[in-house]
Amino acid sequence: MIKRASLLFFSFISVAHLGMSQTVLLQETFDDGIPAGWSQQTLATDGGWLSGTSAELESQWWTIAPHGQIVATNDDGCDCDKSEDYLILPELDFSGVDNAMLAFSTYFDGGTYEGNTEGAFIEYSLDGGESWMLMQALIGSDDGAWGFEAVDLEDVVGQSSVHLAFRYNDGGGWLYGWAIDDVSVLEPGGLDLALTGLDVANIVIAPSQQDLVGTVINLGADTISSYTIAWSMGGESGEVTIDGVSLATADSDEFELSGALPFEVSGNESVLVEVVSVNGGTDDVAGNNSQSVEITSIFYGEYAEGKELREYYYYEPSDAPDNCPLVFVFHGYSGDAEGMIQFTDFNNLADEHGFAVCYPQGTEDGQGEQFWNVGYAFHENEYIDDVAFATGLRQSLIDTHGLDASKVFATGFSNGGDFCYLLACEASTEFRAVAPIAGILMSDIQAECSPEYMVPILEIHGTADDVSLYEGDLENLDGWGSYPSTPDAMAFFVNLFGISLQEEGAFPDAVPWDESTVDYQKWGLDGSCPQVWLYTVQGGGHSWPGAWGNQDIDASLEAWQFFAQACSEPMSVGEIVPSGDRTVVRVTDLLGREIEPEPGVLVLIQYSDGSVEKRLSAE
């Protein structure tokens, strides 16, 4: 069961912003947990509804967007009977009330898995909870964002003893869950139109004109026939009046302003949206009339490589320093650049640490799949030179944006990770360090690997990876081509650079439910720049840790931290000066296995002073 995050971002009001014309019958933010007077009915073994933060209440397949202190019932984490999970409000008296409303923030997918569908309902009881009646069923949304609901309580107006309840039902299966926050029961009064949500992509492509979409809800007693929306973003602003509506209490309306938001370059923009007029006059409650949202724009570009135009996406934070570093992020086989933007979270890292990011797009192979040409066995008729593309695009971005040419790095997933090894071997003058994630070193690349500089390498790889096999595939049983095991690939570069093991250990098993742990080995040389680091995900599959699979580490953050600590001045292969009285310690093949040299065989000769030579054996 996998839940994928959406690029959409929503911002919702807290119904704490209520006016003097409204009577608040109950209001709860759960900042201190589930309060006295609230109760539960549940069949679940985990206690049903629990209080805490999103991070405390979410689980592997049901993540919850942050919303401060909340309450939630998590079927994914429990996998128990949650068919009757009731969170019951204190007894309410509506006998002297003309109209009433239940308002709350909600996080509910409405997901289906293995033929079962989860449900979220507002129910009420007039007999102290002995029996329950349905008032409203919620419609779920898997956009990864909180929503806002306003429920008309006309069914219970005039009743003196009423219990309202949030009921979650897992449909008898293993589903997700339901979270709520900011619950209010109120008697509407006067004129109150609340701006409750903005449906705006938090990542957009530049250049483009984006629509501005939002939702308003009538939280007052007066019927609303028109309202005016104003917005601003940077130097752009506008205003529009929506006529011809008839919004009674708890009614909502969605507005859409086509092409209102222009984006020309990459960067960050803040959009402010306000309800500035209702029914031609002033809203009685101003506290819930405005919303703001932060939007990241990513530049889409084309680079001319020979007669072909190659695509890429480029992001540079608006406040990035001049001459900032650049990180290339390469997608996997059959993947795409947009996917890497979504799950790697490199844009947020760029905002935090002040670097630029480029997401290049591969080309289409004979099977119609996007790829990077690293010499797979089934690509013998593919001749695209992706190294020329990457190095050419690198120089173009440096020239155009004034980036630091000495701090250009590369990471990638799967096929993109394989390509990082190719760059380390063939473009060592252009890329300062690489971090393949679930990458493999193709044997053909290894055999021809003669870099001018020692490029620091961080590999993150799962032992249960069933695509890029941790144990290697020298006989090409899987069809990709011959490649050594991950440890042997590391040994090749360790021997080539003439470095030794300096540190090993394990990361804390911070998230036990991911059923994997992470060990590390770090090779280097005191006082010198070359580094080879291996993070082995014990039990980990073909994944990008932090995005899916292992959650003990964040592969994107680990890659950036590795890049940030890399030496700014590269060292040439063989630059470690041998001493005059050095002796041969051992002779190995390119996989780091000790051998007896034969004439004409390419070998690595390791000396007692730590230096290494790669040469054809004459013996």
555-565 and 346-353 helices cross at what angle (nearest 10)? Answer: 40
Least confident of 232-236, 283-287, 550-554, 581-585: 581-585
Beta bridge partners of 62: none
Q: What tens digit of pLDDT does each residue of 315-354 get?
A: 999 999 999 999 999 999 999 999 999 999 999 999 999 9
Residue 134 confidence (pLDDT) above 90: yes
CA-CA distances (angstroms) from residue 193 to 151, 285, 286? 15, 8, 9
Which two tokens mark 381?
Answer: 């008729």
Residue 109 confidence (pLDDT) above 90: yes
CB atoms within 10 A of CB 321: 10
Instruction: Round to whole Å and give the CA distance between 144 and 196.
Output: 16
Which two tokens mark 560?
Answer: 């950036």
Residue 578: per-residue pLDDT: 46
Beta bridge partners of 536: 461, 519
610 or 445, which is more confident: 445
Residue 14 confidence (pLDDT) above 50: no
CB atoms within 10 A of CB 352: 11
The average confidence (pLDDT) of the chain is 90
- List of residues 6+ apart from 534 with CB closer than 8 A: 458, 459, 461, 486, 487, 490, 520, 521, 522
578 or 582, which is more confident: 582
Quick one: which H or E segment has residue 215? strand 208-218
The pLDDT of 34-46, averaged and rounded, is 96
Residue 88: per-residue pLDDT: 98
Q: What is the pTM of this model?
A: 0.74
Residue 20 confidence (pLDDT) above 70: no
Residue 579 confidence (pLDDT) above 60: no
Beta strands 147-152 and 101-108: pairing type? antiparallel
Domains and CATH numbers, the chain: 23-187 (2.60.120.200), 195-295 (2.60.40.10), 306-565 (3.40.50.1820), 584-616 (no CATH)
Instruction: Round to whole Å and give the CA distance between 36 and 31.
Output: 13
CB contact at 8 A, 76 and 90? no
* Three-state secondary structure call for residue 569: coil
Residue 191: per-residue pLDDT: 93
The phi, psi pair for 514, rounded to 5°, reads -80, -5
pLDDT class of 285 with cuts at 50, 70, 90: confident
Residue 312: per-residue pLDDT: 97
Q: What tens digit of pLDDT does each residue of 66-104 get?
A: 999 999 999 999 999 999 999 999 999 999 898 999 999
Q: Name the DSSP class of 452.
A: S
pLDDT class of 305 with cuts at 50, 70, 90: confident
Answer whether the bond into residue 599 is a cis peptide, omega within 30°. no
- Write the DSSP assignment of 423-442 as a string of letters: HHHH-TTT-SEEEEES----
Which two tokens mark 463?
Answer: 């032992």
The phi, psi pair for 175, rounded to 5°, reads -115, -140
Which two tokens mark 26?
Answer: 């109950």
Give helix then strand counts, H and E, for the chain: 9, 36
End-to-end CA distance of the chain: 58
Residue 422: per-residue pLDDT: 98
Helices (H), 472-589: 486-497, 555-565
The pLDDT of 463-485, averaged and rounded, is 97
> Considering the chain, what percentage of its residues have pLDDT values greater than 70?
91
Least confident of 14-28, 250-264, 371-385: 14-28
pLDDT class of 203 with cuts at 50, 70, 90: confident
537 half-sphere exposure, CB direction, 13 A CA radius: 29
pLDDT class of 508 with cuts at 50, 70, 90: very high
